[in-house]
Amino acid sequence: MNFDFSDDQKLLKEQVKKMLGDKCGLDRVRKVLDGDEPFAKDVWDGLVEMGLMGTAIPEEYGGLGLGALELSVIAEELGRSAAPVPFSSSVYLATEALVVAGSEEQKQNWLPKLSAGDVIGTFAMSEGTVAASPRTVETSFAGGKLNGTKIPVPDGDIADFAIVLVNTGGAGDRALSLAIVDLKAAGVSIEPVKTIDPTRSHATLTFKDAPAELIGKEGEGWATTNTVFDSAAILMAFEQIGGAEAAMWMARDYALERYAFGRLIGSYQAIKHKIADMYVKLELARSNCYYGAMMLNDKGAELPEAAAAARIAATEAYRFAAQENIQVHGGIGYTWEADTQFYFRRSKLLALALGSVLEWKDKLVTRLEKRNAA
């Protein structure tokens, strides 16, 4: 069985890599970090020009009609460049939620705009430090009005609309539904939130009788969210392995040019072991990501387990590579001037973007137990 990507998918990967290499070097990432830009608009425009926002949107809604495998290769290159753009919020989450659960009218209204890059979407789930669940979500929806607070919402300060996880009063998992809200409408207040990675903006969204409408059937919000997050976990895992690989090569390159006590530091066994360990974790994560991508593309029966496994392995690989990259760079690695911080910051942010790795480990165990019992 061939688990590799096709020639067309590899060509897409190279085209995205070239565009990001031209527009999104680490100096561009630093400009966002040091400045007031919420994201790199020129990089976003480059992605729009390539039509990448509509990669997995069906052709009847203005998209390219491709699939998960094409999104996977794009995600890996975005991770490699630590691109400061709202691609994951708008494409992995908001777009996927509309494709999965949106009505025909909602799809006709939003998907063409998303595909053309005219609007940016996001997904608002968390309400603070407690993990979102049918027991903890308090944001309510009734009578076409939305009330409550979501924090932190990725790219909430730049998005045009949000898919919001809301409580509609049912029992158990049926308590939650999804609603779509125009963030430019009355009743919505937005306040930027500082995070460990300022190159990816976040915000607090507060709703006070904000006009909204349900996406999907009432009471199916939790099930739909899990479906969307399984897909996003695999795509984000590709971002993570892209970032982990970039951090590994950065460490390798530095080890081959830095001298200490008359020797290249790369000649010391301790440094060799660090980089070798990065490689091992990266390749383990990559194998999980490839399997997850196959399950996602084919809608395989093992998608839930594959998504959790990819998420866990990629999170660990990125964390380790970003951390050890700083160690290999020694004292300079801890300074503001060093570029090692971009991958460290992004690894920390992505590790929490869809829920912590502990939550995903719990999901994996629960899903495996359920499958074995069946």
My answer on whether 283 and 360 are in the same domain is: yes
| pLDDT tens by residue, 31-41 | 999 999 999 99
My answer on whether 265 and 348 are in the same domain is: yes
Residue 326 belongs to domain spanning: 223-373
My answer on whether 230 and 198 are in the same domain is: no
Query: Is residue 186, in this structure, part of any structural domain at all?
Result: yes
DSSP string, 271-288: HHHHHHHHHHHHHHHHHH
Query: Is residue 94, in this structure, part of any structural domain at all?
Result: no
My answer on whether 191 and 249 are in the same domain is: no
Residue 73 sits in a domain whose CATH number is 1.10.540.10
Query: Is residue 97, in this structure, part of any structural domain at all?
Result: no
CA distance 167 to 152: 18
Q: Which residues pair with 288 in a beta bridge?
A: none
My answer on whether 214 and 231 are in the same domain is: no
My answer on whether 215 and 251 are in the same domain is: no
My answer on whether 127 and 82 are in the same domain is: no
DSSP string, 95-114: IHHHHHH--HHHHHHHHHHH
| pLDDT tens by residue, 164-215 | 999 999 888 999 999 999 999 999 999 999 999 999 999 999 999 999 999 9
My answer on whether 339 and 307 are in the same domain is: yes
1 pLDDT band (50/70/90 cuts)? low
Q: What angle do the packed helices 68-80 and 221-255 form, to 10 degrees?
A: 40
Q: What is the DSSP letter of 60?
A: G
Model confidence pTM above 0.85: yes
My answer on whether 59 and 135 are in the same domain is: no
Q: According to the model, what pLDDT value does residue 62 have?
A: 95
Counting the structural domains of the chain, the total is 3
* 3-state secondary structure at position 340: helix
Positions of E strands within the chain: 121-124, 140-142, 145-154, 161-167, 176-182, 188-193, 202-215, 259-260, 263-264
First to last CA, the chain: 27
My answer on whether 314 and 338 are in the same domain is: yes
* Token output for 165: 């996880």
My answer on whether 328 and 355 are in the same domain is: yes
